[in-house]
Amino acid sequence: MSDYVYDLKTAPNRQVTLPITVPLPSLKTYRAEQATAAKAEEAKFQKATADFETAKAKAEVAGTELPKPPVKAAPKREVHDLVTPIPSEAKDPDLLRLVERLGEGAEEAFEQSGELVCQVAKERILEALILCREDAALRYEMLSDETATHFPASSSFAFSVVYHLTSLSRAKRLRLRILIPAGFEPESATQAYPAANWLEREVFDMLGIRFQNHPDLVRILCPDDWEDYPLRKEYPVTGWGQRDIDFRDDRSGRLERLAMEKAGNTGINLKVPKAE
Amino acid sequence: MSQKNCPTALEQILITTRVEKVMNWSRATSVWPMTFGLACCAIEMMAAGASRYDFDRFGAGIFRATPRQSDLMIVAGTVTYKMAPIIKQLYEQMPDPKWVIAMGSCAISGGPFDSYHTIQGVDKVVPVDVYITGCPPRPEALIQGFLKLQDKIMSSSLADKYKEIFEGLPR
Amino acid sequence: MFDETEYMEINMGPQHPSTHGVLRLKLKLNGETVVECRPIIGYLHRGVEKICENKTFFQGQIWTDRLDYCSAVSNNLGWAEAVEKLFGITVPRRALYLRTLLTELNRLASHLIWLATHALDIGAMTVFLYTFRERELIMDMFEAFCGARLTTTAFRIGGLYQDLPPGFEAMVRAFLAKFPACLDEYETLLTENRIWKKRTVGVAKLSAEDAIALGVTGPVLRAAGVAYDIRKAFPYAAYRELDFEVPTRTEADTYARYLVRMEEMRQSCRLVAQCLDGLPEGPIMAKLPKVLRSEVNEIYHPTEAPKGELGYYLVGEKGSLNPYRFHVRAPGFANLQALPKMVEGGLVADIIAAIGTLDVVLGEIDR
């Protein structure tokens, strides 16, 4: 009975399909994609024109009906109340100011869905946060949210950490973003915004990113003995089996022992693991 | 009225019944639940105890704050891995006889939370007497479940209790 | 030798009648004075973020009901608007008004629960019975609208799935005619009550600077004198077109928060009445494709839930039916972080008042 080991990690409902794309919104990537798509479209049109020319020549020789010339595909008309938001050039004075002050530290700045995004070099995030709070033209007093995303499909980084800043006096919002490889420890934002304390503990708990100079970096939601980091993409929704532990064993184990003895005498196996 | 059904003078001042029935009756009509709200269902439990539904009509209005004074644990909400040992401990602190109601689909089977940190049903932690379905169950459903529990208490036998205590069989 | 004080460490919760769920506090006391308070959360961590990442955008809404279960409609509104922002969907005006109407009714229900439990914790039992009497009327309205009392799943992405049922407007009007008098009734029980004032005036203070530094929002911040309301600062739904005031106080204590929330309830009544009066005609659902597949985008959408700023962070993957990343910025999470600041140095009995005034709901804090 005791030598029967049920391997929960190989259960079918714990198999995960990892994402194959890196959904990181970025103006540079968007432009590159658009350029590639336009080039492909142009190449297709050129080929269609060449085909048309040959077919036309053939038809003239044979004296049959002429084929239709190719037409460039018109952009799709939206019949829905849906306009897909696309990233656009940073025009907001806040973003321009931030880029100007950070210089090389600001890797990218753009606007999408009416939100301001600035991607900062991972080593300079603390400097950027302090700048956002202290600069007289920016004055982002509050850190609303800080969280991270796991990108297993990317080769150059593993996580993106985003900071959502709010300016109460100017009613504006800004998102700072850093991209970090696995094992990199960014500076803790608690030095600029004390609100980051629990938020960073949660990021550590859920994704396993450690922050430098954090006052109290321990797990916050899961128990301290929890295995692995739940919000990573390779982690299954059903977990690694902690939830299937039977808590009904009484503390002394007396009732359990009695029942097991009785069961053993009659040849009943009480401890068959639950088949998944 | 026939001669047989007519109460005698003695029967008018005496009620004859079984000890077991009196014990069960006294237990069933003064069940004190423990205030133990875990999640959403706790709000409906509060509503059941408040003005419109008035849980007190059935003798279960005195919500006790400590397990040591209560007979009934209404598990109202999702049971998580971190919470399960505490529920177990609370249950062990309650004096016998004690009952458990699993209120809502989370307490029954994990409900919509089929995830890593949710215990799939409180019956993996403590033995459950009555299950009440719903997400969350309406206060009427809680009252219905409580009436079912009263039926169960009324039909319980002292002999079972004897066996449980002296022969050490789990319930 | 005498200046070495021996501290007592006690544990409060997770099973405690006044921790509003499964909050646990580790306290270090010097006599009756709190020296250190460390909240321990996670006893209701259900993995909502992970579940929603594996469900479609349409399915995900039902888990938002169960985040802050006292105000499910506010959570639904945040989710619907966040997904609409991710896709770039424009919602018809009638749907916006109906959403605002239901959300404000929900704010009333949520504040009524707050008042009931807060007063019950401090020792005023009667208020509990009174507020639940009125709350049942609001529950009746939700039931008439969507069939559920608590977990409403009231909205759909792009609008609403049905218009108001017949008789709904009459219900709301009857409620609005009755409710201000009920609010006065609660105030006669509490506002000038000497015991209530002793337990709340000057208790659990949190200055505006500390509140902003710790990310505290909602009535707690407004009671410290900062008129920050997302309905005004970053208008969403129909709030841009409606007329209401943001009540503020400067005392920054529990009593001030009580007054702010009471005034907010009156403002919510005004908003509900305006929504009914100015309800535009027209469709209630945007024209959408049958299947919504997201583009690469990332959004953060804040809304003013009854407890404070409720933000949803969503990352969309190209061609995917479900969000790549979903994160909830729960108002209670940030507010609870300020609890040690509020209670340290005070009396241990005031912790009960502080938890009540923060209006914590562990469902959204632990997620």
* Full DSSP string of C218-248: THHHHTTT----HHHHS--TTGGGS------
Note whether A70 and A117 are same-domain residues: no
Mark yes or no for CB contact C325/A149 under 8 Å: yes
Give how far B50 is from chain C: nearest CA, Å: 6
Give how far B87 is from chain A: nearest CA, Å: 10
Q: What pLDDT score does A109 carry?
A: 87
B32 C-beta neighbours (distance < 10 Å), count: 14
Note whether A160 and A58 are same-domain residues: no
Give how far A204 is from chain C: nearest CA, Å: 14
Q: What pLDDT score does C327 carry?
A: 92
Rounded Cα–Cα distance for residues C349 and C199 (Å): 9
Tokens of C298: 């990332």
Mark yes or no for CB contact C47/B116 under 8 Å: yes
Domain count along chain A? 3
Window 60-79 of A: residues touching B by CB (8 A cutoff) are: none
Give how far B114 is from chain A: nearest CA, Å: 6
Window 138-167 of C: residues touching B by CB (8 A cutoff) are: 139, 149-151
AA identity, residue B29: T
Residue A228 counted as domain residue: no
Residue A212 counted as domain residue: no
Q: How large is the C-alpha radius of gyration of chain C?
A: 21
Note whether A70 and A33 are same-domain residues: yes
Residue ranges of E strands in C31-117: 33-40
Q: Tell me, what's the ipTM?
A: 0.88
Residue A263 counted as domain residue: yes
Give how far B146 is from chain C: nearest CA, Å: 20
Tokens of C326: 């979903």
SS3 of chain A: CCCCCCCHHHCHHHCCCCCCCCCCCCHHHHHHHHHHHHHHHHHHHHHHHHHHHHHHHHHHHHCCCCCCCCCCCCCCCCCCCECCCCCEECCCHHHHHHHHHHHHHEEEEEEECCEEEEEECHHHHHHHHHHHHHCCCCCCCEEEEEEEEECCCCCCCCEEEEEEEEECCCCEEEEEEEEECCCCCCECHHHCCCCHHHHHHHHHHHHCCCCECCCCCCCCCCCCCCCCCCCCCCCCCCCCCHHHCCCCCCCCCHHHHHHHHHHHHHCCCCCCCCCC
Chain C contact present for B121, CB below 8 A: no
Note whether A166 and A191 are same-domain residues: yes
Neighbours of chain C (3+ CB pairs under 8 A): A, B
Neighbours of chain A (3+ CB pairs under 8 A): B, C
DSSP state of C361: -
Mark yes or no for CB contact A237/B118 under 8 Å: no
Low-confidence ranges of chain C (pLDDT < 50): 1
Contact by Cβ (8 Å): C73, C152: yes
Rounded Cα–Cα distance for residues C143 and A16 (Å): 39
Report helix angle C93-122 to C254-277, nearest 10.
Answer: 150
Residue B157 pLDDT > 80:
no
| Among the listed residues A135, A132, A204, the one whose alpha carbon sits nearest the alpha carbon of residue A165 | A132
DSSP state of B100: E
pTM of the predicted model as reported, rounded to 2 decimal places: 0.86
Give how far B15 is from chain A: nearest CA, Å: 40
CA-based nearest residue in chain A for residue C286: A81
Question: Model confidence at A15, in pLDDT bands (50, 70, 90)?
Answer: confident
| Region of poorest pLDDT, from A205-219, B8-22, B86-100, C261-275 | B8-22
Contact by Cβ (8 Å): A193, A215: no
Mark yes or no for CB contact C366/A142 under 8 Å: no
Q: Which domains does chain C have, with CATH numbers?
A: 8-365 (1.10.645.10)
Q: Which of A224, A245, A248 to mutate to test the interface with B (most CBs of B within 10 A)?
A: A248
Residue A120 counted as domain residue: yes
Among the candidates A186, A207, A228, a domain finishes at A207
CA-based nearest residue in chain B for residue A263: B169
Segment C183-210, tens digit of pLDDT: 998 988 888 888 888 888 888 888 888 8
Cα dihedral sign, A190-A224-B68-C114: positive
**Burial class (CB within 10 angstroms; exposed 0-12, middle 13-18, buried 19+) of B61:** middle
Q: Which of C45, C64, C355 to mutate to test the interface with B (most CBs of B within 10 A)?
A: C45
Q: Cα A27 vs. chain centroid, distance in angstroms?
A: 17
Residue A191 counted as domain residue: yes
Q: Side-chain half-sphere of C12: how many Cα atoms within 13 Å?
A: 22
CA-based nearest residue in chain A for residue C235: A171
Q: How many residues does chain A have?
A: 276
Q: What pLDDT score does C177 carry?
A: 92
Residue A222 counted as domain residue: no
Chain B contact present for A22, CB below 8 A: no
Among the candidates A188, A207, A226, a domain finishes at A207
For A264, the domain range is 236-271
Give how far C329 is from chain A: nearest CA, Å: 6
Note whether A94 and A65 are same-domain residues: no
Note whether A71 and A101 are same-domain residues: no
Of B40, B82, B90, the CB nearest to C363: B40
Q: What pLDDT score does A149 carry?
A: 92
Note whether A35 and A133 are same-domain residues: no
Cβ contacts (< 8 Å) between A19 and chain C: which residues?
A: 317, 324
Chain B contact present for A242, CB below 8 A: yes
How many A/B residue pairs have CB atoms within 8 Å?
56
Residue A249 pLDDT > 70:
no
C41 C-beta neighbours (distance < 10 Å), count: 27
Mark yes or no for CB contact C46/B86 under 8 Å: no
Contact by Cβ (8 Å): C313, A164: yes
Percentages (nearest 5) of helix, strand, coil residues in chain C:
50, 15, 40
Tokens of B118: 């949710």
AA identity, residue C191: T
Mark yes or no for CB contact C46/B44 under 8 Å: no
Contact by Cβ (8 Å): C44, C366: yes
Chain C contact present for B37, CB below 8 A: yes
CA-based nearest residue in chain A for residue B79: A243
Contact by Cβ (8 Å): B108, B102: yes
Cβ contacts (< 8 Å) between B43 and chain C: which residues?
A: 69-70, 113, 150
Q: Please write down the long-range contacts of A124-129, taking CB distance under 8 Å and 24 or more positions apart.
A: A125/A161, A125/A163, A125/A176, A125/A178, A125/A186, A125/A187, A125/A189, A126/A187, A126/A188, A126/A189, A126/A191, A126/A192, A127/A102, A128/A98, A128/A102, A128/A176, A129/A163, A129/A165, A129/A176, A129/A189, A129/A192, A129/A193
Give how far A229 is from chain B: nearest CA, Å: 11
Mark yes or no for CB contact C49/A206 under 8 Å: yes
Give how far C189 is from chain A: nearest CA, Å: 35
Note whether A74 and A95 are same-domain residues: no
Note whether A198 and A103 are same-domain residues: yes
Taking the alpha carbons at both ends of chain B, their separation in whole angstroms is 46
Cα distances (Å, whole numbers) of residue B124 to A245, B119, C42: 8, 8, 20
AA identity, residue A94: D
Rounded Cα–Cα distance for residues C322 and A111 (Å): 23
CA-based nearest residue in chain C for residue A236: C50
Neighbours of chain B (3+ CB pairs under 8 A): A, C
Q: What pLDDT score does A11 carry?
A: 67
Cis-peptide, bond into residue B136, ω within 30° of zero = yes
Of A150, A221, A230, the CB nearest to C41: A221
Give how far B145 is from chain C: nearest CA, Å: 19
Chain B contact present for C46, CB below 8 A: yes
Rounded Cα–Cα distance for residues B55 and C290 (Å): 47
Rounded Cα–Cα distance for residues B108 and B116 (Å): 17
Residue A4 pLDDT > 50:
no
Contact by Cβ (8 Å): C231, C239: yes
User: Which residues are within 8 A (CB) of C216 and not within 5 positions of it... i.e. 6 or more apart?
Assistant: C206, C210, C308, C334, C335, C337, C338
| Region of poorest pLDDT, from A50-54, A237-241, B147-151, C109-113 | A237-241
| Region of poorest pLDDT, from A77-91, A172-186, B140-154, C294-308 | A77-91
Residue A213 counted as domain residue: no
CA dihedral B58, B61, B66, B70 (to 10 degrees): -10
Note whether A98 and A66 are same-domain residues: no
Q: Which of B34, B38, B41, B74 to mutate to test the interface with C (most CBs of C within 10 A)?
A: B38
Question: Model confidence at A258, in pLDDT bands (50, 70, 90)?
Answer: low
A29 C-beta neighbours (distance < 10 Å), count: 14
Q: How many residues does chain B have?
A: 171
Give how far C335 is from chain A: nearest CA, Å: 10
Residue A140 counted as domain residue: yes
Mark yes or no for CB contact B39/C362 under 8 Å: yes
Of C14, C21, C116, the CB nearest to B86: C14
Cβ contacts (< 8 Å) between C302 and chain A: which residues?
A: 144, 166, 173
Cβ contacts (< 8 Å) between A237 and chain C: which residues?
A: 47, 50-51, 54
If you average pLDDT over residues A50-54, what whole number do you get?
Answer: 86
Of C46, C69, C113, the CB nearest to B113: C46
How many B/C residue pairs have CB atoms within 8 Å?
93
Of A23, A82, A206, the CB nearest to C296: A23
Among the candidates A207, A227, A254, a domain finishes at A207
Percentages (nearest 5) of helix, strand, coil residues in chain B:
45, 10, 45
Mark yes or no for CB contact B117/A239 under 8 Å: yes
Residue A90 pLDDT > 60:
yes
Q: What is the CATH number for A102?
A: 3.30.460.80
Residue A3 pLDDT > 50:
no
A10 C-beta neighbours (distance < 10 Å), count: 9
Q: Which of B78, B81, B120 to mutate to test the interface with A (most CBs of A within 10 A)?
A: B81
Cα distances (Å, whole numbers) of residue C13 to A257, B42, B65, C103, C305: 32, 16, 11, 32, 26
Q: What pLDDT score does A76 carry?
A: 67
Note whether A107 and A193 are same-domain residues: yes
Contact by Cβ (8 Å): C258, C127: no
Mark yes or no for CB contact C300/A164 under 8 Å: yes
Q: What pLDDT score does A2 carry?
A: 41
Look over chain A and give the mean of its residue pLDDT values, rounded to a whole number: 81
Note whether A105 and A159 are same-domain residues: yes
